[in-house]
A = this chain, B = another copy of it.
């Protein structure tokens, strides 16, 4: 039995997590004085919301792991991102009457529901909140654009490398090992996100394993040569 297997929920709460005042970009303690925050737990496969449901709240991921899926009229579907602790979810639907995409838990998760008109109203009393929210939206755009660049200019293998590095960085930001982690999603979800087919993702992972860049065993990933991966993905910086 390895260490990762004991992480029943991902990411596990840090010791002070219940008391943490700032989760992600939002000052929750202060916000909770103005709006009623509901905590929702989701089992793997459950939806936080679906496209078409009436928009009433944005969510802060407190624990777990989720994916956002874009859907088209004719049934095409694509994973547009993965969300973990500290990420805001639902902001893409601000200004609409109905949510525009699906959000599905990939693991046991807890999300904090921030009812939207109240949050907007609270911005009048918390100027800080307003700029945080706007900055979070802008960062979302930059993040999407960075992936657009990657998907349009990198080969399958490079995309997978970039994906692993992104996961590693986000794990690190939450205080987990960037060198050794468990993917919370299946090959098909990775493939959808990267604009590939699941067999291609598998082959890329196998190849990176053979190149001694990583060690893969199903969903368990070990980064052996992060610098090599970064060169491959066209990124200069190192994971600290």
Contact = CB atoms under 8 A, between A and B. Distances in A.
Most B CB atoms within 10 A — which of A94, A135, A144, A152? Answer: A152
Interface residues of A, number: 48
A4 interface: no
Contact of A141 (B91, B130, B234): B91
Given A70-B146, A134-B94, A134-B133, A78 B152 contact: yes
A175 interface: no
Question: How many chain copies?
Answer: 2
A91 B136 CA distance: 11
Interface string A92-104: 1111100011000
Contact of A130 (B93, B130, B237): B130
Interface stretch (A38-46, A120-128, A201-209): A120-128
A151 B147 CA distance: 12
A69 to B, nearest CB: 9
Contact of A234 (B74, B145, B154): B74
Given A73-B236, A95-B131, A120-B130, 11 more contacts: A71-B149, A72-B153, A77-B149, A95-B138, A95-B139, A100-B142, A100-B145, A101-B145, A123-B130, A124-B127, A137-B138
Interface of A: 70-74, 76-78, 80, 91-96, 100-101, 120, 123-124, 127, 130-131, 133-135, 137-142, 144-149, 151-154, 192, 195, 234-237
